[in-house]
Structure formats: structure tokens, C-alpha cells
Structure 1
Amino acid sequence: MGDLIPTFSHMGFILKGTGTMMVNHQEIHPSKGQLYLLPAKTKQTMFTDAQNPYELYYCHFNIGSCGTELFDSLNLPLCIDVKYPEKAISLCENIIQALEAQTLTSFIQSKQYMLNLISCYLESCPEDSVSFQESLQDSPIAQAIAYAEEHLDQSISVKKMAEVAGYHPSHFAKLFQEKLNISPVQFLIHKKVDYAVEQLTATTRPISEIAEALGFSSQFYFCNFFKKQTGMAPTAYRQIYFRNGSK
């Protein structure tokens, strides 16, 4: 798999096989019985041994608040030995079954199983290997982010976000970049892609409805936008996800 910078996090449990994964400039070698984590918005590359290819469970997800992913706020190892492998396998299988059911209840259950898997990961991290970074909670930038998240169906400008935060646009853009390591414009793009990916992979909602919910004037413009950001048309993305979404 070549270089990717996905807008979602990727977590997997290795059943067998060997290989190498690069996360930004960090190299990891997940092996049997280990969980690995590829955080959202990091440069990722994966290679598997042709003679001993990976067999694994994996899932894509987003978790966070105020526009900040949980793993943006944590320093933690990206590959760990699991304390309870059977529990991790059971959770992965439960996630798959819940998503395949495609009901409101099962969708909620899938999120709960995912949270339990993340908890399993954190519980298995070596002592003192997890620490928090500076939080944006309740800051002016957090208010601007919350506004943007609530108005994804509209055309949101950096000027409007700066106004919500109480800053001059140029100062806001600079501060935003310093705090989140991403420009406000790119952040807005990522949020729209995040929403689209969630709808494409967790629902059977028509693409035309997803486009409308994100404020696009037509499905055509949305499809062009999505393909530019992900390299795939929405329909192809959905098909590949459901084809490869299980073990």
C-alpha cells in the first residue's frame, strides 16, 4: 500500500503474518497478537511480507471533540502487545457483525464495541507510555471549530470562523495552524470528507443526500470534491470498504 494521509484513524489486530508500517517517520512492525494504531491525518505506508502476508482485523474510525482527534491529544505507542487477545478478537468480530446488521441499534452497538477496543488498546499500553498534550477545550478556537462542525451544510469562510473566535482572520489562521498543525481551510475540507466517509461506510444513504447534507449544489460537484481528496469516487469508496471491511 502506498503513502496515504487518511482523515480517519485505523486500528488493527494481527492474527498472523509480518510486515512494516510507516506512520510519518516512525516505523513499526506489528506481529501476531498485537494491536497497532495509525492515527488520522498522518502519512501512512504499509508493506506486508509476500511470503508471510498479514491476516488481520482492522477498522476505520474517528473519535474526538472540538475538531481534535483523540490521538492528536495523546502521546502513545503505535504498536502494543494485547493483554487479552481473545477480548480484542471478540470485539473486532462484534464490530463486523454489528455493521453488517445495518440497523440503528446495531450501529450504536458498533460504536460501543469500537470504544471498548480503544479502551483495550489503552489498557495494554505499557505503564507511563501514554500522556496528554495541550487541550483546546473551551478555547476560542474550540468555539470556532464547534461552529464549523454544526454548519457543514453551509459555505463557511475562515473570516466567519475568526469572527466566532473573536480574532482577526490573519491572526486566527496563524493561531489555528500552530495549535492544530493544519490550516482552517484544510480543516474544513477534512471535516467534510470525514462526514462523507462516515456516511458512505456506516450507512446506505444515497450519495445525492450526502452531497446535499454537506452543502454541495449537486452530486456532481460533491463527487469531484471527494475524488480529489481521497483518490476515489464515492461509489467506488463505498464498494471497496464493504468488500474489504471484514477479516
Structure 2
Amino acid sequence: MNQHTLLTHYLSNLEVELYMGDYNRCGSDWRDLDYTPDYSKFYWICEGEGWLKIGEQEYYPVPGQLVLMPEGVTQSYSSISDQPFLKYWCHFSAKVGGINLFQIVKFPHFCTIDQPEQINTIFRDILMYLKSGEVYGHMMAKSKLMELISQYVMRMDIEQIAYLNVPAIEKITAVLAYIDSHIEENISVQELAQLAYMHPNYFIRFFKQQIGVPPIHYITGKKIDKAKELLSCTPSTVTIIAEHLGFSDLYYFSRQFKKHTGLTPTEYRKLKTGVAL
């Protein structure tokens, strides 16, 4: 399994929380040194000058740059002239299986935006929803935060992204590859745990932390994906497909299929092919 596929797993199971945000000009006293926040930040620089230090790297962002300052990393910032930053900003968390995303994956700390109005609009919407007072306001603001993260990731070169816990990445990559190559079999947690050299109970926690869902849930989802492919591309009956994928109980297979797709296997095939077999 390549890095692109693994990153897709992480981002597909991303859970975000938005704490606060605003649009303002920094004062001449805007300064803090060597602090480690328990939240992540985005700065969208609109005007002005300033200095940032993230970990051991120093930056002087310019207008049109979106800056990511991840939680758990030592940071500093300061005004450096009589033209301090005018910026949008927000504080948030991003987790996969309860683990800080930025403890798993290291992204570049900034990107230059070639269509700045897109980012302006997202931040304006975030602030509008945060301040709306509507019951759906925070939910909509979180959806806009997800859009902002998506825009950031879209501008990343996959080669710029690093994985921070290489032994864990190697283990989960081997496990996911094994599932893919044995999806037509009855895969047990015990055999996956043996593959990762872990006790099954610990392995379940490890898998959920890395992928965002328990292993059985993930395996079932992959089997349903394979069933969708077979229903669309082969004349095999639903019963044969279920048995082929290790479902001995046709009713259970149909129930799981509908749970994942909203349709029965027969309804799905008819929708995809126009033929009910």
C-alpha cells in the first residue's frame, strides 16, 4: 500500500473540532516565545509582515500564504515592523482515532494560494457561522474548517508529507495490504494481530488509532466494496457473491450491504446495470 492510499485512510476518518477564529490586525506587541499549544492553528495572511517559528524552522509569511501551526509543536511569533499582520485565523483540533493527526503525519507548514478569494470566502463563512447564534452554526463552521483543510492538502505534493511513527506506519501498511489481498477470506483479528506482533486487544486499539475504525468494521467495508464491484461487473448471483466473500449468512450479508450503501444488493445491481439477477 502506497503513501497516497494510507493518507486517504487518515483523511477519510478525520475528526475535527473548531475552537475559535477571527479576522484582525496584530498589534505591535503581538509576541510569544517558545510555547507549545494543545490546539492547531491556521493563519491566512492578508497584509503585513511578521515572524513565526514552528519547531526549529523560522518563517516570514507574506500575503497569500496559508500557514499551518500544528498542536504539540513548540512555536514562537512576533511582529517585526510597523506593518504587522492583518490575518484570518482559527484554532482547531484534527484527530484520527482520537490521536492528533499531526503526531502521525507531518505536513509542510505553509502553502501559497493562487486563488486567494477561495480562502477568504471559507474564512468569512467560518466566522459568520461561529457568530450566527444558530443551532446549526457550529456544525456549519466545522464543515468549512474541513473544506479549509482539504484546500490545504490539495496543494501539497505527496513527497512533502512525512510519516512520524515509521514502525507503526510499516505495521499498519502491512496489515492493510494483507486485508486487501485476502478480502475473499474470513479474516480474523487474531491473524492480523499476529501479523503486527501484537496482542489482539492492543491491536484493536492500535488499528482504530491509525485508521479511525475498528478492524472488523474496516474489513466489512472492504468486503462490501468488493461486493459492489462484483455486482456491477459479473453475472454471479447475490448468494454466490456473498459466499465468495465469506458471508455464510445471506441475510447478514444483505443487511451489512444495505447498512453501507443504503440499498439491498439486488437494488444496487439494478441501479448500476439496469438488470436484476
TM-score tier by shorter-chain length is: 0.5 to 0.7
1:195-214 equivalent positions in 2, closer than 5 A: none
Whether 1:99 aligns to 2:130 is yes
Residues 139-162 of structure 1: per-residue CA shift (max 9 Å, x gap): 9xxxxxxxxxxxxxxxxxxxxxxx
User: 3-state SS of the aligned residue for 1:12?
Assistant: strand
Query: Counterpart of 1:45?
Result: 76
Work out the CA distance in 2 between the residues paired with 1:132 and 1:102.
Answer: 39
Letter in 1 for 2:97: C
Work out the CA distance in 2 between the residues paired with 1:5 and 1:103.
Answer: 33
Contact 1:17 1:49 in 2 (8 A): no
Aligned partner of 1:71 among 99, 102, 106: 102
Query: Counterpart of 1:20?
Result: 51
Distance 1:127 1:82, change over 3 A: farther
1:235-246 equivalent positions in 2, closer than 5 A: none
Note the C-alpha offset of 1:101.
1.0
Aligned partner of 1:4 among 20, 35, 45: 35
Work out the CA distance in 2 between the residues paired with 1:129 and 1:63.
Answer: 19
Work out the CA distance in 2 between the residues paired with 1:9 and 1:34.
Answer: 17
User: 3-state SS of the aligned residue for 1:27?
Assistant: strand
User: 3-state SS of the aligned residue for 1:104?
Assistant: coil
Note the C-alpha offset of 1:79.
1.5
Contact 1:12 1:37 in 2 (8 A): yes
RMSD over aligned Cα atoms: 2.9
TM-score (norm 1): 0.53
User: 3-state SS of the aligned residue for 1:52?
Assistant: coil
Query: Counterpart of 1:36?
Result: 67
Aligned partner of 1:54 among 59, 76, 85: 85
Distance 1:126 1:31, change over 3 A: farther
Residues 37-65 of structure 1: per-residue CA shift (max 9 Å, x gap): 11001111101223211000000000112
Contact 2:49 2:81 in 1 (8 A): no
Work out the CA distance in 2 between the residues paired with 1:16 and 1:133.
Answer: 33
Letter in 2 for 1:106: G
Residues 82-102 of structure 1: per-residue CA shift (max 9 Å, x gap): 132111110011000000013
Whether 1:116 aligns to 2:147 is yes
Runs of 4+ in 1 over 4 A off after TM superposition: 135-139
Note the C-alpha offset of 1:165.
4.8
Contact 1:83 1:124 in 2 (8 A): no
Note the C-alpha offset of 1:29.
1.5
Note the C-alpha offset of 1:127.
5.2
| Rg larger for | 2
User: 3-state SS of the aligned residue for 2:160?
Assistant: coil
